[in-house]
Amino acid sequence: MKLSLILFGMALLFRYARWRNPEFRQRLAGKDLKVQIKTQDGKQGRLFLFQKGRVSSRSGVHADADFSLVFKTAEVAGRLLMPPINQLQQIEAMKNFLFHPAGKDEDSVWFAQSVMTAISTGWKTGSAASDGTTRHCTITNGGPLFVYVKDGRIIRTTPIIFDDEDAPSYTVQAHGKTFTPPRQTSLSPHGMNWKSMVYAPNRLLTPLKRVDFDPNGARNIANRGLSGYEPISWDEAFDLVASEIKRMKRVYGQGAIAQSNGSHHNWGNIGYYLSAKIRFMNAIGTTEVHHNPDSWEGWYWGALHHWGGSLRVGGGEPFGTMEDCLKNAEMVVFWSSNPEATNGLYSGFEGSIRRQWLKGLGLRIVHIDPHFNDTAQFLGGKWIAPKPTTSPALALAIANVWMNEQSYDTDYVAKRTQGFETWRDYVLGDDDGIPKTPEWQETETGVPAKDVRALAREWAAKRTYLAAGGLGNTFGGAARNPTGSQWTRTMVCLMAMQGLGKPGINLGNMQMGVPHDFSFYFPGYADGGISGDLNNTALAVSLYQRMPQLATMNPSTQIIPRLKLPDAIIDGYAEGQVWDARTIEGQFSKAIYPKPGHSPVHMLYRYGNAILGTLSDANRYVEMYRSPNLEFVVNQSIWDEGDTRFADVILPACTHLERTDIGEWANAGGYGAHFNSQVNHRVIAFQSKCIEPLGDSKSDYDIFTGLAMRLGLGSYFTEGMRDVDWAKRMFDASDLPDHISWKKFIKKGYFVVPTEREDLRAPTAYNWFAEGRKKDVPEAMPLPGDYTEAFGEGLQTQSSKFEFECESLKRYMPDDPERPPIAKYSKSWEGPRVPELAEFPLRLITPHSRYSFHTQGDGKDSYLNDIKDHRELIGGHYYWIIRLHREDAKARDIADHDLVCVHNNRGAVICVAHVTERLLPGVVHSYESSAEYQPMGAPGASVDRGGCINLLSPSRTQIKNAHSMANGLSMVEIEKWDGTTTFIRKDPLTAAQGLNAEGAKK
Amino acid sequence: MKKWNLIKWNLIIDVDKCTNCNVCAVAVQDEHVGNQFPGYAEEMPKHGHRWIEIMRRERGTGTAMDVAYLPTLCQHCDNAPCIKKAPDAIQKRADGIVLIDPVKAKGRKDLVEACPYGAIWWNAEKQIPQHWIFDAHLLDRGWKEPRCVTVCATNAMTSVKVDDAHMARLVDEQGLQVRLADAKTKPRVYYKNLWRYETCFIAGTVSCLRDGQIECLAGAEVRLLSDGDVIETQKSDVFGDFKFDKLAGQSTHFKVIVDADGQTQMVDNINLDQSINIGEIHFA
C-alpha cells in the first residue's frame, strides 16, 4: 500500500517536473523508455513510460519494460524511495543487494538522473543584476568570481563584493592601529583572465582522432605530434576509448593503463582530479603516475626531518602568525619568498593588503634572493643577493656568527632541541676544519661577509620573522633548486636557534595565519570529494562519514614516480622514492616499476591541463609520447596546447564555468591543511554552470559518465547523480545548512563563514612548543601513533624535540653525502663550476610564473598575452620573456626586446630578452610553466618558440634518495637568435657531468 | 547650476603601491573585449590596446636599486587637448568624465596624437580612437567605482567623487601631483608618490675595519651637498647603507661627505643623470 502511494507520487513528480522544469523536458526529448519499478517477487510495482517527450505511468508489473529497478521487498522499496532520500541507506542497500537495476546501464543512469532532475525542480541558480545580466558565482585557482551572464554569454567577471548580510570581517590590533581587510575578494591576474580562457580560440570543441590513427590497423605512433586530427562524434570517441580500455586489460592485464594529470585543475570539489577523476580511474583500474611533492620539494625531503610536519609536506604550522608578526616582530627576513608574484597559492592578492599593513609599521625588512623580486619592489628594504643555490652557505654563516657571539637562545636550544652540538661542530669547523664563516660563504654566495655579519647581528638583536618560501614557512622558491633540501634545513635550524614559537619569532610572510573559524566544516579539494577513495585522499577523515558514498579502490597498486614517467615508458623501468605523507619515514620507501606480475604500461590516459611546460627536461616527454611502447594515448583536455597534440584521441572537456561544482576558496583540504588561512574571508561558493558547455565539449564528470556507461560502470560511477546533485550532497554534508538554505545558496552563489571570535582564535604556531605546553593549535596531525611521548606532546620527530641532528636520517642512511643527518652545504651539481657545463655559464632561475598559474592562463590567446612582463608580441608571435642583467646582455650584444636563443644540451627555447638591473650578473630569470610548446620543426629536434623553459631544466632528482624536482635552476647560454630552427639534443647534462646518472636516459 | 553637477569623478593613483600585477589592465579587457556599450564605447580589440598601461622605471645599480610602476590611462582632463581638436566627437560630462563618441569620432586617427599622455588608442579595424572611459557606463548604472579600483588589491587606485574645491584640498593634504603639469591639461587623474617614478637617488654604503674584519659601519654621518650647501644629512643604517632620494634628475655637482671614526671621506662631482649607487666608502 505504502509503496504504491510512493510510486504514484513519483508519477506526479514527473508530471510536475515536465511542466515546470526545462532541464527535465530536455532530458525527455529523444528518449523512449519503459521503466518498471517492482518488487523482486514481481507482485508490486509501477511502469513509467517515457515516450515522445511525455511521461505517463501504469500501476502493476508489466512484461514489456526496457529497464527495471528491482527491490527485494515492498518494505525495502518503500523505505528507500520515501523522500527525503537517505543516502547512507541507499548505498548500504546497493552494497547489500537490496535493490538492483535490470537492463542497460545507460538506461539505469538515465532514469536515476532523471529522478534527480525532477526532484531539483524549482532550483534557481544565480540572481538578476541591474543591467539585465544574471550574476553567478564560481571559484578559480586565482580567486572567486562573480560571473555576469546575458543571453548565454559571459559579459564580465569581477571579484565577489560582500553585502551587509555577509559576516563581518576580522580585525587585528597592533601598535595602536586597527587593521581589517576589504569587504571583497581579490583576484590574481589569471583569476581575472577567465573570460578569455573560456572563449579561447584553442578550445577543444569536438572529440578528435588523429587522422592516421587506426585502432584496428596502423597506429602510426611515430606521427604523434606531427599529424592532424579529424572530428569524431562522442559515440565514436566513447566507443573507441572504452574498447581500448578493455583491450588493454584483455591483452596485457592489470597495470597496462596509466593515468596522469597536472597538479591543478579547475576549482571545485566535484569535478576535481582528486574527486571525479579518482572515482573513475579506480573504477577501471590504472597504474598511478605518483606525484612528487612538487613546489614543496626541499621542505618534504629536507626540513621535515628536523621539525616534522609530514602531513604539511614538510611545512610549518600557520596559525596566528599573521597577527603575531604584526604585533611582536621587529624584523622580517624574506628569503626566497616572493608572495606578490606567486599569490601564496590560490589566494588572489589576499596577503598583499596585510603586507601593506606590515610595511606601514616601519619594521626592518630584508630580502634575500638573486632576483630583486616583486615583494622587494613592493615592500622595499635591504636586498641581499646570493648566487642561486648557495643560500645554505649564507645560512650557515649566520649560524656561525650566532655561535661565535653567543647570540642565540641557549635556553631554548637546551630545552627544546637535540643534536645541536653535532651541528655546531660542523658550523664552527671543529669536525672538518672549515669554519663556516661569513668570509667562507662569500666565495660561494658572492654576498659580502660584512653584510652577513650585520644581518646576523640585527637578526639576533631583534624579534625576527623568517619568511622562507612563497607561503612563508614552506612552498616554492629555493626549495625547487638542486640544493633545495639543504636550504629548507638551514632555514628551520636558524629559527630553532632563535626560539621558534616565541612571540615575534616564527616563520611566516603574512601570507598565512588569518584567524578563521577553522571548526566550521567545509571540505577542501583533497578531502576526497566524490572519489570514494579512502586510501589516497583524506576522505576517511571526515567527509566519508558526512557524505556516505560508494567506496572505490584502485585494483592496481603499480605506480610510476611521476618524474620517471618517460623512463618507465621508454626504458620499461623506473624507480623512485614516493611521497607518503603519513609519517616522516613514509618517504624512505621506493616504488619500482614495473611491479611484480603487473603489466607494463601500454596506454596513457592524460587528463586535466597541459603539463609539458611544468615538468623538467621536457623533451623526455616528447620522446615518451612517440615511443612504440605507448600503443594508445587519450587526452581529456579543455584546450589544444602543450602535450594535447601528442594524443591519438582528444576528449574536449569544458571549463568549470560551464558546469556545476561547489568549493571553498583556497581550501585544499588534506593536500595543504589550512591553506584557506591565506584568504581574509572563508568564502564557499556554489559554482554555477554559468553558461552551456561550448561546442560539443562536456564536463569531465559527464565524460567519465559516458565512458563508464560503455563499461557497465555508469550506475556505480554516478550513484545516479548529476554533478549538481553531488554538489547538493556536499552542501548537506558541510556545516552550511546551519547558516543558509540550499535555495538561497545557489541563488546568491556564495557564503562567507563568520569570523572566529577574538577570544577563541587559534594560538600562535609553535608557541605551545616554545613554552613546553601540550599542543593547542587546531590541527589533527601528526597521526596519534606518531607521537613519542603522550598524545599532543612535542613535535613529530623521534625525540619530539627539534632535531638539529635528525634521528630519521641517522637511522635511514647516516652516510648519505647528499643528505647527512645534520644540515650541511654542498655545491649544486648543476652550476658554473661543473666542467662539463662550462659552455653554459649563465644560471637560469625559473620560479613559478607570476601572471599565469602552471599552464592555466598562459597561451590560449588570452588577455595575459598583453601584459608586458608576461609575453611580448614580435613579428606576430607572443614570445616568452627571459630577463638578463645589463652586463650579460652587453657581453652578448643583446639589446632589450631582442629575440634570443636560450639553450643548453637539453633544449633550445626562443625568448625575448628583457635587460634589467634586477638580477645579479650571471643570473638570468624566466618563469617556468608555459602552456605552449611549439617546436619549429620536428618535435624533440628543433627549437621551441612556445616558451617551454622546462626543456632546459635538469631531470635529475635533487638528492638521489628522493623523488624530487630540481628544475628551479638550469645552466644555459644565450645568444641573439639567428633564425636557426634545428636543435640536436645531446646526452642529458646529468649524465654528461658523470656525477650521477640519476634521472638520465639509460 | 545645480549642486550635484559640481560633484565630479577623480582618480588617485599611488605609485608607491603599484606592484605591476596588471589586474586592472586585465579587468579593462574583461569589461570591453567582446562587449559593446552604445553611447560609451565600442568593443576593445582583444589584443594590442592597453587602455590602462603600466610603465616601469628601474633606478640604481647593484643591490642599491628599486623599481617603480606607473599606471597610465586617460586622464579625463578638464582642459583636454583631444576635445580641443574634436569638440564634436568628444564630450566632457558634467561629472568630469571625458567620452569619445565611437560614432562621431570614426576615422579620427589624428586624435591619437592629440593626447600628450599617449592614452588614446587607434582601433584599426573599426577605425575609431578609444580610451579608458572611467567605466562611465557602469557608474551610470549605480556601480560605486570603476573596475580598476575594485580589483586593485593594494589600493594603488582610488576613485573619489567630490567637488573641485574638495579635490583641491585632497591634492594639498596628500601632496598629489598631475603628470605633465606644464601642458596645462588639468587632468582628473592625480598621482601620489610620483617621486618614486620621476626622481633620482644617490645611494652608497659605509664600511670600516674592526679587529681585522671588514664590517658594515652603522651610524656614520652622511651629508649630501649640492653646490656647496648641505641639503640632507643621514645616519648610515645597520648595513652601512644610506640613500638620498627624491632628487631631481639632470642636476649636477652633488657631493657626499661621510664622517665616521673621527675621519672624513668625500665623493665629489656626482653627476646625477640617473639614480646612482656610489658603492662602498671604506674607513680603514
Q: Give the pLDDT confidence score for residue A670 in this predicted structure.
A: 84
pLDDT digit string (tens) for A665-721?
Answer: 999 998 889 999 999 999 999 999 999 999 999 999 999 999 999 999 999 999 999
Answer whether A917 touches B (CB < 8 Å).
yes
What amino acid is encoded at A448 in this protein? Answer: P
- Residue A900 CB neighbour total at 10 angstroms: 22
What amino acid is encoded at A896 in this protein? Answer: D
B219: left (phi over 0), alpha (psi -120 to 50) or beta: left
CA distance A625 to A647: 8
Query: Residues with Cβ < 8 Å from A90, sequence gap 6 or more?
Result: A80, A719
- Residue A131 CB neighbour total at 10 angstroms: 16
SS3 content of chain B, % helix, strand, coil (to 5): 20, 40, 40
pLDDT digit string (tens) for A466-513?
Answer: 999 999 999 999 999 999 999 999 999 999 999 999 999 999 999 999
The nearest alpha carbon in chain B to A378 belongs to: B19
Query: Residues with Cβ < 8 Å from A819, sequence gap 6 or more?
Result: A301, A302, A485, A809, A813, A959, A961, A962
- Residue B38 CB neighbour total at 10 angstroms: 9
Q: What is the largest CA-CA distance in chain B?
A: 78
Q: Which of A727, A711, A730, A705 is nearest to A110 (CA)?
A: A705
What value does the mean pLDDT take over residues A517-542? 95
Q: Which of A921, A891, A905, A903 is nearest to A992 (CA)?
A: A905
Distance, in angstroms, between A151 CA and closest chain B CA? 13
Strands A229-231 and A208-210, sheet pairing: antiparallel
Task: Dig out the grid coordinates for B56 from the structure.
Answer: 616601469
Count of residues making up chain A: 1002
pLDDT tops 60 at residue B62: yes
Distance, in angstroms, between B87 CA and closest chain A CA? 30
Find residue B71's DSSP bridge partners.
B54
Distance, in angstroms, between B66 CA and closest chain A CA? 6
Q: Is the ipTM of this complex over 0.95?
A: yes
What amino acid is encoded at A105 in this protein? Answer: D
Answer whether A857 touches B (CB < 8 Å).
no
pLDDT digit string (tens) for A7-53?
Answer: 999 999 999 999 999 999 999 998 999 999 999 999 999 999 999 99
CA distance A127 to A149: 10
| B22 interaction partners in chain A (CB closer than 8 Å) | 189, 851, 867, 869-870
Residue A140 in contact with residue A685, Cβ under 8 Å?
no
Cis previous bond, A600, omega within 30: no
pLDDT tops 60 at residue A1: no
Strands B189-192 and B200-210, sheet pairing: unpaired
pLDDT digit string (tens) for A374-412?
Answer: 999 999 999 999 999 999 999 999 999 999 999 999 999
Active site residues of A: 264, 294, 525
What value does the mean pLDDT take over residues A738-763? 98
Q: Give the pLDDT confidence score for residue A993 in this predicted structure.
A: 42
Going from the N-terminus, what domains does chain B have, and what CATH number goes with each? 3-193 (3.30.70.20), 199-283 (2.60.40.10)
CA dist A889 to A839, A899, A943, Å? 17, 12, 21
Q: Which residue has the cell 547650476?
A: B1
What value does the mean pLDDT take over residues A87-102? 93
pLDDT digit string (tens) for A156-212?
Answer: 999 999 999 999 999 999 999 999 999 999 999 999 999 999 999 999 999 999 999
CA distance A246 to A255: 12
A20: three-class secondary structure by DSSP: helix
Q: Give the pLDDT confidence score for residue A992 in this predicted structure.
A: 40
With an 8 Å Cβ cutoff, are B26 and A189 in contact?
yes
Count of residues making up chain B: 284
Answer whether A851 touches B (CB < 8 Å).
yes
With 0-12 / 13-18 / 19 or more C-beta atoms within 10 angstroms meaning exposed / middle / buried, residue A692 is exposed
- Residue A17 CB neighbour total at 10 angstroms: 24
**CB-closest option in A130, A364, A454 to B142:** A130
Task: Dig out the grid coordinates for A189 from the structure.
Answer: 591576474
Q: Give the pLDDT confidence score for residue B112 in this predicted structure.
A: 97
| B216 interaction partners in chain A (CB closer than 8 Å) | 450-451, 453-454
Residue B100 in contact with residue B32, Cβ under 8 Å?
no
Answer whether A588 touches B (CB < 8 Å).
no
CA distance A340 to A798: 37
Q: Which of A591, A979, A837 is nearest to A828 (CA)?
A: A837
